[in-house]
Amino acid sequence: MSESDRPVVLIVEDEPDVAETYKLWLRNDYEVRMAHDGDEGLDLLDDSVDVVLLDRMMPGLSGDEVLERIRERDLGCRVSMVTAVEPDFDILEMGFDAYLSKPIRSEQLHETVENLLERSEYDTLLQEYYSLVEKQATLEASKSSAELEESDEYDELKEEIGELKSELSESLGGIGDDADFIATLRGLSNGEDE
Amino acid sequence: MVKTNKLSENMYDLSTVLDFDALDSVRPGTSLLVAGPAMSGKEALAMDVLKDGVGNGEGAVVVTTNDRASSVVDEFRTDVPEMDDSQLGVVDCRGDNSGGEAAQSGAYTHHVNSPGDLTGIGIGITKALEGLHKSGRDQGRLALVSLSTMLTYTDKKTVFKLCHILSSRLDSAGYVGVFTIDSGAHDDQTLQVIKQAFDGLIEFREEDGTRQARVMGLTSQPSEWKEL
C-alpha cells in the first residue's frame, strides 16, 4: 500500500522538462513518482504503482524492453506508452494498455490515466463478482432448495451479486471499445498464475 | 459512428434453429450457454445458429478450439451457398500453425497459439468484428466451441471472467453469442459457476433414447423438456 490513498503514477521519461510538466499536471490528483530511464523505472516499480507512463525512446533500456520486464514480473500495473510519433503498428499486440503521442495535452493525460485506473477497478470488481458467484454455487451445492429459501445469507448473496453485475455493466462503458476489451483480457492472462 | 436506423433494436430469431418460444425474439447482446453431454448436438446447434444468421445476411464469428479454420470456412460455404466470404470470421485456437491456409479466401481467419492465450483470442475476435463492421454487417452472431477445451488450459475462474468480458463485448456490438460446454466433463460446481456468466442456457440431454432440450433464463420460467 502507498502512504496515501491516492493512486500512484510512475513517469519514466528521460527529458526532465517533459517529466516535470507531466508531474505538474498530475500531482493534484495522484501520487507521482519519476524515473529518468528504464533501469530507474524498474527500480521504482512495486505493487503500489497503478499506472506507468513509459517513454518509448530512451537511452539505455527502451520502453519496449521495460514493458517486457514489467510483464515478466507480473505486476498489476497498467502501462501507457508515450511516443513521439503515432505508432504504425498494432499497439494492442505489443502489450501496452494505451498510448499517448507527443505533444501531450493535460486533458489527454488525465483521460488516459483515469481510463487505465478504471480498468484496474473493473478487474477488481470482476474478481469480487467471481468470488460471490462461486460462493453462491457452493451454497447451492450444499443445501436443499428449501434450505436456500430459508437462508438470509443466500438472499443477501443474490442481492450483492445483482448489484455487482450492474456495477460491472456500467464500468468501462460495458467494455465498449477494443482497447478496453483486449486490455481486460490481458489482465486475466497476467493474473492467471496468482 | 452514425446510426441512422436502429439496427441494434432488431431481435434475433433463433427459434428457426431450435423451436422454442423463448428463442423467437432474442435481444441483441444476449449470450447463451449451450450445455449437454458429448455428442448431444450442442456444437452443431451453435454452428446452425450462425449459419442461419449468415443466411439472413448477418455476420458470423467462430472461435474454435477443435476445428481447423479452413474446415469451418468450407463447412459454411457448403451449408450456406449464398454466403459472401466477408460475412465470416474464424478464430482458430488449436495452436497448430501448420500453415497452408494462405490461399484460403476472403473469409477472415486468425490463428492463436493456444486456447489459453486469451489476449490472442481477444485480438482475433476484435479483428473479426472490425472486418464485419467494415463490410456493413451490423448484426451478427458469435460461437465459441468449446469452453470445455478452454477449461483444460485454464481454471474456472479465468474462464468465468473470459465469458463475462466476452458477453459484455458482444452486448456492446449488439451480437448474440453461443458458447458450448460438455456438461459431462466438469463437476456441478464448475458448471454452476460458468452458467452465471450467461444470460441464458440451452440444455441438452438424452432420455429414453431420445434427444431432448430446454431453454432457461430467457423467460421467467424455464421451458419444458422437449423432444428433438
State the total domains in chain A: 2
Number of cross-chain residue pairs from A and B with Cβ atoms under 8 Å apart: 78
Which of B157, B171, B188 lies nearest to residue A130, judging by beta carbons? B157
**More confidently predicted of B6 and B122:** B122
Instruction: Give B122-171 pLDDT, tens digit per residue.
Output: 999 999 999 999 999 999 999 999 999 999 999 999 999 999 999 999 99
pLDDT-above-70 percentage for chain A: 91
- Residue B72 banded pLDDT, cuts 50, 70, 90: very high
CATH number for the domain spanning A21: value is 3.40.50.2300
A46 is in which domain, residue-wise? 8-115
The span from the CA of A63 to the CA of A70, in Å, is 10
Instruction: Give A129-140 pLDDT, tens digit per residue.
Output: 999 999 999 998
Q: How far is A37 from chain B (nearest CA, A)?
A: 29
Interface of B with A (CB under 8 A): 116-119, 121-123, 126, 130, 154-155, 157-158, 160-162, 164-165, 168-169, 171-172, 188-189, 192-193, 196-197
How confident is the prediction for chain B on average, in pLDDT?
90
Q: Are residues A145 and A86 in the same domain?
A: no
Q: Are residues A138 and A87 in the same domain?
A: no
pLDDT of A172: 81
- What is the SS3 assignment for B150? helix
- Residue B228 banded pLDDT, cuts 50, 70, 90: confident
What is the interface pTM, i.e. ipTM, of the complex?
0.87
Give helix B42-55 / helix B69-79 axis angle, nearest 10°: 60
pLDDT of A145: 87
Instruction: Kindly list the domain boundaries of chain B, sorted by start residue.
Output: 26-96+104-186+193-203
* DSSP strand pairing (B200-207 vs B210-216): antiparallel
Question: CA-CA distances (angstroms) from residue B156 to A130, A134, A160, A188?
Answer: 10, 10, 21, 12
Instruction: Please answer yes or no on whether A178 and B189 come within 8 Å at the CB atom.
Output: no
The answer to whether residue A118 scores a pLDDT higher than 70 is: yes
The span from the CA of B42 to the CA of B35, in Å, is 7
Instruction: Give A41-98 pLDDT, tens digit per residue.
Output: 999 999 999 999 999 889 999 888 999 999 888 888 999 999 887 765 566 677 788 8
Instruction: Give B183-199 pLDDT, tens digit per residue.
Output: 999 999 999 999 999 99
Q: Of the CATH numbers 3.40.50.740, 3.40.1050.10, 2.60.40.420, 3.40.50.300, which one belongs to the domain with range B26-96+104-186+193-203?
A: 3.40.50.300
Q: How far is A164 from chain B (nearest CA, A)?
A: 12
Q: What are phi and psi of B218, to 5 degrees?
A: -90, -25
Q: CA of B174: which chain A residue's CA is closest?
A: A176
Are A111 and A87 a contacting pair, CB within 8 Å?
no
- What is the SS3 assignment for A194? coil
Residue A3 included in any domain:
no
Mean per-residue pLDDT, B211-221: 92
| Bridge partners, residue A34, by sequence | A11
Instruction: Give B87-136 pLDDT, tens digit per residue.
Output: 999 999 998 765 545 445 678 999 999 999 999 999 999 999 999 999 99
The span from the CA of B193 to the CA of A134, in Å, is 6
Chain B residues whose CB is inside 8 A of the A92 CB are 123, 126
- Helix ranges (DSSP H) in chain B: 42-55, 69-79, 118-134, 147-153, 156-173, 188-195
Strand order of the β-sheet with A51-55 is: A31-35, A8-12, A51-55, A78-83, A98-101
DSSP secondary structure string for all residues of B18-58: S--GGGSSBPTT-EEEEEESTTSSHHHHHHHHHHHHHHTT-
CA-based nearest residue to B126, from B110, B114, B103: B110
Instruction: Please answer yes or no on whether B117 and A189 come within 8 Å at the CB atom.
Output: yes
Instruction: Please answer yes or no on whether A189 and B160 come within 8 Å at the CB atom.
Output: no
* Neighbour tally for B216: CB within 10 Å: 18
Q: Which residues of B97-126 are buried (b: 16+ CB within 10 A; e: fewer)?
A: eeeebeeeeebbbbbbeebbbbbbbbbbbb
Chain A residues whose CB is inside 8 A of the B198 CB are none
The span from the CA of B165 to the CA of A181, in Å, is 7
Residue A13 included in any domain:
yes
For residue A37 the three cell numbers come to: 530511464
Q: How far is A122 from chain B (nearest CA, A)?
A: 10
* Neighbour tally for B140: CB within 10 Å: 28
Q: Which of A99-103, A163-167, B61-65, B127-131 is most confident?
A: B61-65
Give residues 1 to 60 of A whose Cβ lies within 8 Å of B.
none
Chain A residues whose CB is inside 8 A of the B122 CB are 181-182, 185-186
| Alpha carbon A118 to chain centroid, angstroms | 7
**More confidently predicted of B177 and A183:** B177
Instruction: Please answer yes or no on whether A173 and B172 come within 8 Å at the CB atom.
Output: yes
Instruction: Please answer yes or no on whether B122 and A138 come within 8 Å at the CB atom.
Output: no
* Neighbour tally for B183: CB within 10 Å: 21
Residue A2 included in any domain:
no
Q: How far is A135 from chain B (nearest CA, A)?
A: 9
